[in-house]
Structure 1
Amino acid sequence: MTTATAADYSWIRSPSSLFKFAMEVGYTLTLVQGVSPEKLYALAGAEASGRCHGFDELVECHWELLDEFDHWPDAFLTGTLTLPSPAGTWTLALEFGGGLGTRDSFMEPLSYGTRAVSHSSNGGKPMDFFHWYENGLLRTTFEWPGDRTGTTPDDLNQRMREVGLNPSGDQNPDVDRKAAVLALTERLTGVRLTEELLRQAEYITAVVPEEQIKGSGSLVVLP
């Protein structure tokens, strides 16, 4: 579909990169084919409520929402936009501190009849994850490329090698693993993410509730 490699995403490590902020505070980025932002939000239990013009304004809206909570927030702001690719139209969802793309309860129905791919970081520690769903199934997921699970954990092995990841074990220290994951996402979606695209996009926003474990009265933030 594309020939993207980790080198194509070296911009995420620039000192002034907007993605540097996302990795520091924690983020989740999800791409799904042929699903509108409105349907995505409906599956997330939310409703589109506004627009943010550009990445910087999305960050400002994120902080404004957090300021509304006295303690641990029970919701987070998500921004979506629609993007074309050779494989068709995709919706991108981006949030800071939230985890839509890591929720099975969301990603399974989101990917029914289509494909959804997400990658994330919780910031700080960090823990970084990749998820590929197809037609309601989690096909491949990993934190470390050599330790994969899912219904078809080895189906991406060749593409992983091509972007610079080693599915067999030790990673090449000269390859930026996060940049390689973005390249792997492009290989699965055909969507090339650039700093300019993310910085200038108009995001449709919604406040998404944190996920709770059924039968529990306490809030549980899932990874």
Structure 2
Amino acid sequence: MNAATAADFGWIRSAASVFQYALEMGYTLTLVRGISPAELLRVAGAGSRGTCEGVSELIEEHTEVLFGYEDSPESFLAGAFTVPGEGGDWTLALEFGGDLGTRPRIMEALSTGTRAVSHSSNGGKPMDFFHWYEDGELRTTFEWPADRTGSTPDELNALMLEVGLNPAGDQHPDVDTKAAVFALAERLTGVRVTEELLAQARYQTGEVPEEPVADWESVTIDVIDAHGERTYVQLRRGQL
């Protein structure tokens, strides 16, 4: 039985850890069972960029892509490789500043007939998310452990408690929530993510295009003040 807990992932906070760049810049780590790295990148719409030897080279390639744009980046680099886990081989995909593992369309497609798990952070702010998909369906997702959604938001509650997350309220101050999320992902995939694994992997890489910004027609302001008075205003694009 897999018994991973937050204590197994203290290495992510080490000043010398290869994961420090991910925590500073923001990252998404995605695990999908039974598909190849090439298939994952294809589903994500990525343009191939060859391979990188180790996470340090992946970071260099990411920086090259990032600074190749004069203004806002139009794509981000994703690196993927095969790793053994529960029920067979899994593909691990890692991005810095990307959101492949948080896009519903991609995750639904990747998880059809299988399982996909992702967790992410947007860096210094931070906003941290966890997603578990099963056969194309988002089963459990959360930013805060006590605020879960999905088709089965409570199904992981027992596992969350075991790894150090509190699904009922405030977190224990001695538990690193990010490390606990790594442990939860391992409980669901059987994949042990280590510093050595990320540092030594051979990544198949691709540029994933940013999603276009959706057009909007109006903005709604809905505020209730301290006295219970509500202000509700909808402004059309032409009024702004």
Fold agreement, TM-score > 0.5 = yes
* CA-to-aligned-CA distance 1:153-182 (integer Å, 9 cap, x gap): 000000000000000011101000000000
Deviation at 1:100, TM superposition (A): 0.3
Matches of 2:101 and 2:127, distance apart in 1: 14
Contact kept, 8 Å, 2:38 with 2:204, in 1: the verdict is no
Q: Do residues 156 (structure 1) and 156 (structure 2) align? A: yes
User: What is the SS of the residue equivalent to 1:83?
Assistant: strand
Question: Who is 1:121 aligned against?
Answer: 121
* CA-to-aligned-CA distance 1:94-119 (integer Å, 9 cap, x gap): 00010000000110111000000000
Question: Who is 2:232 aligned against?
Answer: none
| Stretch moving more, 14-23 or 115-124 | 14-23
Name the larger-Rg structure: 2
Contact kept, 8 Å, 1:112 with 1:136, in 2: the verdict is yes
Question: Who is 1:208 aligned against?
Answer: 208
Question: Who is 1:220 aligned against?
Answer: none
Question: Who is 2:132 aligned against?
Answer: 132
Matches of 1:3 and 1:93, distance apart in 2: 23
Q: Counterpart of 2:175 in structure 1: which amino acid? A: V
Contact kept, 8 Å, 2:37 with 2:81, in 1: the verdict is yes
Contact kept, 8 Å, 1:38 with 1:47, in 2: the verdict is no
Contact kept, 8 Å, 1:140 with 1:149, in 2: the verdict is yes
* CA-to-aligned-CA distance 1:55-88 (integer Å, 9 cap, x gap): 1000000001111100110100000000012421
CA RMSD of aligned residues (A): 1.1
Matches within 5 A, 1:24-35: 24-35=24-35
Q: Counterpart of 2:14 in structure 1: which amino acid? A: S
User: What is the SS of the residue equivalent to 1:162?
Assistant: helix
TM-score by length of 1: 0.94
Question: Who is 2:226 aligned against?
Answer: none
Could you tell me which runs of 5 or more consecutive residues in structure 1 were left unpaired when the two chains were aligned. 217-223
User: Identity over the aligned pairs, expressed in percent?
Assistant: 65
Question: Who is 1:178 aligned against?
Answer: 178
Determine which structure has greater relative contact order: mean sequence separation of CA pairs < 8 Å that are 6+ residues apart, divided by chain length. 1
Q: Counterpart of 2:110 in structure 1: which amino acid? A: L
Matches within 5 A, 1:26-65: 26-65=26-65
Contact kept, 8 Å, 1:77 with 1:96, in 2: the verdict is yes
Deviation at 1:213, TM superposition (A): 4.7
Higher strand share: 2
Instruction: Give the count of matched residue pairs.
Output: 216
Question: Who is 1:12 aligned against?
Answer: 12
